[in-house]
Amino acid sequence: MSKPKILIVGCGAVGLAQGYHLSAAADITYLVRPGRSPAFQPPKKLYDYKTDALHTFDNYRLIESTSEVANEDFYFVFDTLDGHTARSEGGRKTLEAVGALIRDHTATFVVYDAIGLDMGEYYSTTMGISKDRLILAASMLAHQPTKTISVPPKANTGLIAQADLLFAHVYDNRALLVINSQPKLTKKVVSLYEKLPTMRAKVMPGFLDSSGMMMLAMLQLVAWNVDGYHPLPEFQRNKELWSLMIKAQKEILTLPRYGWTGWLISFVLGPWATAKIMAGPAEDALPLPYHEFNAFHHGAKVAKQDVQVLEHLVAEGDRVGHKVEALREVCKRGGEALKKVV
C-alpha cells in the first residue's frame, strides 16, 4: 500500500522538523519560494535535544510551484507560514495557489500554525475552501543553528556543529499539538502520527482557540520580549510589566467575541495560574533553554506576528467599546522592541 502524500508549505524550522518525522509514514513534498530550492536540497541533518542524537533527512522532494503537482492527491497540506507572513502579499498568493490546487480534492485538508485574530476565516476565504477543512496546530520547538541559544552542558558539541536544524519535542514525545476544533480532522492527523516510530500528536481542547487562550500566548510572548526574554523567574520579578500583562489578559478574555467562556477563564487566570502555565513549556523544553529559544524565534523571526495579533486585539476592543488600556500599553512596548530587530 502506498504512503499518503503530504504537502508542506515552507521548508524552514517547523517544516523540516515535521517533515522529517512524518516521512516515516508519508511521502513529503515541500513547496518553497521560486529560486529557493538549492538552499533546501537534501540531505539535511537534524539534531534532537532530547536524545543528543543527529538524524539525516533525505527522503523528500522540493517544488517551487503548485503546477508541478497539479494532478496529485494529498492527504493534507501542512502550512508553516506564521500569521504575519500568511497575511502578507506573498503569503496570500501562496495560499491562493495552494487553495486552487486542493479545492476540488475535497478529502484534502489543511493543518496550519499561523496565529492571529480570525485566522481561520482568513485561510478559508483566501484558499477558497470551507472552514471544516482547516485545523490549527502547534509544532514542537525547532530552530536553525544560532550562537544565541546555549548548547546544553551534556550535549555532544560535535553533533550540534553538523546540524542544519535542532529540535525538541514537547509533552513527552509529542511532535504536534492539535487544537481539537474539528474532531474529524483531528482524528485523521492523530492517526497518521500514530504510525510514526516514536513521535505522536497530542490533542488539545478546541476551546483554547475559541476562548481567546491562544491570543494570551501571544500577549505573554510579547510581554516577555519587552522584558528581554530573561529566564521566567526574572520576568516575574518585573512587577510592573508582569502586572500589566495580567491586566491585559483579562481585557482580552472579556472581549465580547469570547463570550461567557472567556469571561469565566478571566477570573481563574491570575498571576499564579499564569506563572504555572508559562513554566510548563519551559520545563518541558529542557535541555533546550526555552527563554533563549523564544528570544531567537519570537523575539526576531516571528516577532511581527506576535505584535500584529495584539494590534488586532486592540483594534477589536476599540471597535466594540471595550477597555483595553493595559493591552494597548503592552502592544506599544512590543512595537518598540520590534523596531530594534527589524
pLDDT at 341: 64
Q: Is 332 exposed, middle or buried (0-12, 13-18, 19+ CB in 10 A)?
A: middle
DSSP helix/strand/coil, 184: helix
pLDDT at 209: 85
As a whole number of angstroms, the distance between CA 129 and CA 19 comes to: 24
DSSP helix/strand/coil, 241: helix
pTM of the prediction? 0.95
pLDDT at 300: 72
Structural domain spans, the chain: 5-206, 211-339
For 5-206, CATH gives: 3.40.50.720
pLDDT at 339: 76
pLDDT at 297: 80
pLDDT at 16: 98
Under a CB-based contact definition with an 8 Å cutoff, are residues 26 and 6 in contact?
yes
Q: What letters, b where the CB count within 10 A reaches 16 and e where it falls short, cover 180-195?
A: bbbeebbebbbebbee
Per-run averaged pLDDT (10 residues), the chain, 342 residues: 93 97 98 96 98 98 98 97 94 98 98 95 98 96 95 97 96 92 97 95 91 93 95 96 98 96 93 95 94 86 84 97 98 87 60
CA nearest neighbour of 299 among 338, 245, 332 = 338
